[in-house]
Amino acid sequence: MAVNSAFAQEVDQSEQATPEFPDSAFLKLKEVYSKSIEEKDHVTTGVSLQKMGNICYYLGNYPQALEYHLKADKIFREQKRKDLLAGNLNDMGILYYYNRQISIARKQYDEALLIYKQLGDGEGLAMTYGKIGHLYEKSTKYDSAFTYQRKALSQYSSLARKKGMAKIYENIGSIYEDLANFDSAYYYYSHAYDLYEQEHERVASIEVLNNLGDIFRKTGRYSEALLRTRQALLLAEKINDLYEKGAAYRDLGKTYALMQQKDSAYLYSELSRKATIDIYSLENNRQTAFLSVLFDINKKDAEITGLEHTRNIHIIVTIATIVVLILLLILGRVVLSRQRLMHATQQELMQTALENKGLQEDKLRQELEIKGKELASNTLHMIQKNQLLEELKGKLEVMAKDDKRDQKKQIQQVLQQINVSFNHDEYWNEFRDVFEQIHQDFFVNLRKKKEDLSHNDVRLAALIKLNMNSKDMATLLAISQDSLRVSRYRLRKKLGLDEGESLSAFIHSL
């Protein structure tokens, strides 16, 4: 059975709106979902659920995303829509990977492969081969990763799908870069870039340019690295892509630092930091808007369920009333009056309960919005304060090298006070209070995994949960980025994570 064309158009429009306006896209999909249920268009219902799951995945809400995909999976199987089922299985495979359930993720991919082979869908096969190759790459099983990426490339090449070929070239280049085989990495990245340019894939082209810049920087060819990264920055500015601009700024800062051009390195590091703060603010606003929409939708669903329950009660009461009326005609007008009074009282109590429930839900939604803004404000304040202290500390350390003994002693005392301020910041307590209200049970679940975590381990886990970048985490924890990498390594060991398992994915699964 084909998907209703009008519904299909609405679903496509919603999907296109996802990156910029996920909350609006989700609302549109929810409307399509409700309409498809009324029309009993089961396939569109499943597609809407799948797309809603994709939006939740895009925003990092993996449990909700998996719930929508599982519902879509059930519908596609009932409707015998193997083509849609296979695509949904691939989406579920990604979710299971981020939930650290590698074997279950591979099971989804294997079933998708079987379906695509039965349908003779070469493009579906190529896409799934690529996902399996990516799974092996992240597990550092590079031989298997190469095998499946080359299977994907063969499929895309036979179909002359340039965009797909470009993505696989990029994936293979990434594997070679992991193995420090930079010549091969350059070869595949260059092919990916050429194909992306032919297909006018601007964002993908920018990402590959940044990768090429990384290759040149890692091999000491700094002039060529700057050329590629500046080209990426120019394209990012043309399409106003904040993420890619931030990545280009960061790479330029790294290259200038290696070239010992400290002024330029500082300039681009600052631009990268500002871009990171803007991205954090943008993502926080998107998360807040989406959570508000999700809250409103759940509230409306609860109200609809309540109204349906009330309607059923009304039906039962109506039937009972007819029976009672017959009895009342026999028993007399006194019993009839009493029964009507009882019925009216029940109606008033039910209405009062519904109003109280609505007031409580409005209060909860307002508190959630306030706490989200408070968490963002506290986090930015701590970043700015620690950065200021770090700058003061650096200047005082220079002054402390002066031979004036009295001045040197006073400066060292100030430095000691700054270090104390780094380690005893009252804002951490406020941060923890607000964090626990938004991410309930996070610290409890973390302690269940490992009881003897230090305070710094817990702080680091909370910052990873907020998707904060390494530089800002180091600033907040008052440590260097090298120390941060050591802290992350120690936390991985304490949590018992295997090599290749993502610490970020584990933290987000809690």
Looking at residue 303, its pLDDT comes to: 53
Give residue 468's Cα distance to chain centre.
Answer: 12
What distance separates the 2 farthest-apart alpha carbons in the chain?
111
Rounded (10°) angle between helices 242-258 and 222-238: 160
Looking at residue 466, its pLDDT comes to: 85
Residue 241 backbone zone (phi > 0: left; psi -120 to 50: alpha; other: beta) = beta
Looking at residue 17, its pLDDT comes to: 41
> pTM higher than 0.75, yes or no?
no
- Residues 333 and 326: their CA atoms lie apart, in Å, by 11
Looking at residue 3, its pLDDT comes to: 47
Flag residues of the chain having pLDDT under 70. 1-21, 280, 282-318, 320, 332, 334-339, 341-346, 348-350, 352-354, 358, 366-384, 386-388, 402-406, 417, 419-427
Contact 125, 116 (CB under 8 A): yes
Structure token pair of residue 122: 């070469």
Structure token pair of residue 404: 């004036």
Looking at residue 155, its pLDDT comes to: 94
- Residues 24 and 139: their CA atoms lie apart, in Å, by 36
The CA angle 280-285-286, to the nearest 5 degrees, is 100
Question: From the CB of residue 60, how many other CB atoms can be counted at a distance below 10 Å?
Answer: 15
